[in-house]
Amino acid sequence: MKVVLQKVSQAKVTSENTQNEIKQGFLLLVGVGQESTYADADVHQVGGEILSISQFTIYASVKKGNRPGFTNAKSPDEALKIYEYFNEQLASYNINVKTGEFGAHMDVSLINDGPITIIFESKDGNIQ
């Protein structure tokens, strides 16, 4: 599982069926890979409001050809379950968690605070 965390002073996501926004907090771009498990989605420490957006393209491979390959991403049905579990874990810490629409085309806007961007990768429940 990969998460791109961006500290924001505000962020917003809009799709055909969803519109959510946060003020001060973190925008999370969440990718669920072929080898991702529920252990990778366990959350240990977070502070602030969260806007969590599923983004399988984090697992793009650009090693060959003209187009990126996405075979490293988990299937949508399995990825959705882990993504929802991840968001439930965040919410269990009394964090205000808002999400985008899984699998939909979304417009995402943000004001990066810092800027601060951190990439987390977890395998077998351990941050890499």
In sequence order, the β-bridge partners of residue 25 are 8, 49
Rounded CA-CA distance 58/4 in Å is: 9
CB 89 within 8 A of CB 42: yes
56 is catalytic: yes
120 is catalytic: no
Question: Is 117 one of the catalytic residues?
Answer: no
- From the candidates 24, 57, 70, 117, give the one annotated as an active-site residue: 57
The count of other CB atoms within 10 Å of the CB of residue 128 is 9
- Of the residues 26, 55, 86, 99, only one is catalytic, namely 55
Backbone φ and ψ of 122, nearest 5° = -120, 135
Query: From the candidates 6, 26, 56, 99, which is the catalytic residue?
Result: 56
Q: How far is the C-alpha of 46 from the C-alpha of 13, rounded, in Å?
A: 20
- Give catalytic residues, as residue numbers: 55-57
